[in-house]
Structure 1
């Protein structure tokens, strides 16, 4: 990481977002492949709130989870994916990240890539959500429109997406949030 220095507390000091070089990319150019959700609706699935798989729908609330259902091997999709919500009451154009395997409606298109992990996925969804306001029921993501949609991402010295920076930035945010919880908990005990 040429643009980071190790911090003595375990995190990394990074170039601030405002000072980082950014560039627009087509979503279709940064992911390896795309797969729509396979379910045609909740009615034909058996709910299982105790041990079920996440049932993903066209909502940006609860990270897209509408319920939990009994796993159906034909409908199950692998995790570590960014989901782009096509429809939904106020949710069209938003993105979610799913780490675990899931079942999803066809109202969400999922993107996969070898470089993707939960930290980069959360960074990417935040960047994608910055342009959400242009989507609605009348103008939604189709697969073709999604592939040509732009997303602004930080870049490295080669001008390619700086996935290492995105990952470390997300880890730093998590580290700071966990540290604030620890500090709060310690203060409450005293």
Structure 2
């Protein structure tokens, strides 16, 4: 593969370098709203919507934003004009590129993040990063299905005027810990292996069903919590390693929709496990979450399902 520098394909410029504290934030749907892109790796880099400043020209849409500091090399294609915060660069293609080509290069630039660990910033070196000269044909031809923005239900169940109650996890679930499986012992196959991590729904690779069906527990339609309290729902069958805790409901059934509601609630506990404090089986049963309840005080699973159905994109679930 022929590699070239970022500066060979893109004109690299420093952004307008505005401070959000000095701008007037407005609702996203406001006619005056301009995206404010910062160094975050969330929400396509957009951290706020602000009022247009007649003294500052927004950066054009169709450019890439690259964080030089903060979430270093967080790179996104911006579909709307925007303002930028500090340590943010924007890249304008030197030749006409399709949206798919631009997205490919966001991935390539992000893949250089390993060079910037231990607080090393990328401000002076973005131009010299190496990326492929051409987008591979397999990526150009890759089929990407469009998500259906529609909700699965037109009903809008009220979330905030519901009655909620506290529940210990140990009253709702039993916990099944996975079995240790080193990389050297893994044999490739078709069954997802869930390990600790916040990416790819916890799936690190796929292993052989035939080789491990008698050695490892096989789960399906379950929620998992890893040692760092990353929480995921798994609709399909999976194996897990010893850093994964599978939640098995006590006297109730879960489906995909109410499981996703629970994942969102459970994820709120993640902050308790920062700075090296890891999830242990002896701690999990005593963690508490607040859930909507029915008339007799039990978790209202039907409401949770209906609420997820009411959200945008739920028709694609």
TM over 0.5: yes
Q: Normalization by structure 2: what TM-score?
A: 0.47
Match for residue 267 of structure 2? 129
Structure 2 unmatched ranges of 5 or more: 1-150
Structure 1 unmatched ranges of 5 or more: 1-8, 87-91, 182-190
The counterpart of 1:148, out of the listed 281, 286, 310, is 286
Distance in 2 (CA, whole Å) between partners of 1:172 and 1:40 is: 40
Alpha-carbon shift at residue 138 of structure 1 (Å): 2.9
Distance in 1 (CA, whole Å) between partners of 2:152 and 2:247 is: 31
The counterpart of 1:162, out of the listed 288, 291, 300, is 300
Distance in 2 (CA, whole Å) between partners of 1:178 and 1:85 is: 26
Report runs of 4+ in structure 1 exceeding 3 Å deviation.
none
Match for residue 94 of structure 1? 230
Distance in 2 (CA, whole Å) between partners of 1:123 and 1:171 is: 10
Q: Normalization by structure 1: what TM-score?
A: 0.77
Q: Comparing both structures, which one devotes a greater share of its residues to helix?
A: 1
Mapping of 1:35-184 within 5 angstroms? 35-48=176-189, 52-71=190-209, 72-73=212-213, 74-86=215-227, 92-113=228-249, 114-136=252-274, 138-173=276-311, 176-177=312-313
Alpha-carbon shift at residue 150 of structure 1 (Å): 0.7
Checking the alignment, whether the CA contact within 8 Å between 2:167 and 2:288 is kept in structure 1 is: yes
Distance in 1 (CA, whole Å) between partners of 2:275 and 2:183 is: 20
Q: Describe the shift of the 1:178–1:158 C-alpha distance in structure 2 as closer, same or farther (beyond 3 A).
A: closer
Alpha-carbon shift at residue 80 of structure 1 (Å): 1.4
Alpha-carbon shift at residue 172 of structure 1 (Å): 2.5
The counterpart of 1:30, out of the listed 158, 172, 181, is 172
Alpha-carbon shift at residue 13 of structure 1 (Å): 2.1
Tell me how many residue pairs correspond in the alignment: 161
Checking the alignment, whether the CA contact within 8 Å between 1:39 and 1:103 is kept in structure 2 is: no
- Give RMSD over aligned pairs: 2.1
Q: Describe the shift of the 1:125–1:14 C-alpha distance in structure 2 as closer, same or farther (beyond 3 A).
A: same
Match for residue 184 of structure 1? none
Q: Describe the shift of the 1:21–1:67 C-alpha distance in structure 2 as closer, same or farther (beyond 3 A).
A: same
- 1:132 match: secondary structure: helix
Deviations 1:117-150 (A, max 9, x none): 1111111111000121110363222112001001
Distance in 2 (CA, whole Å) between partners of 1:131 and 1:28 is: 15
Deviations 1:91-115 (A, max 9, x none): x122111121111111011011241
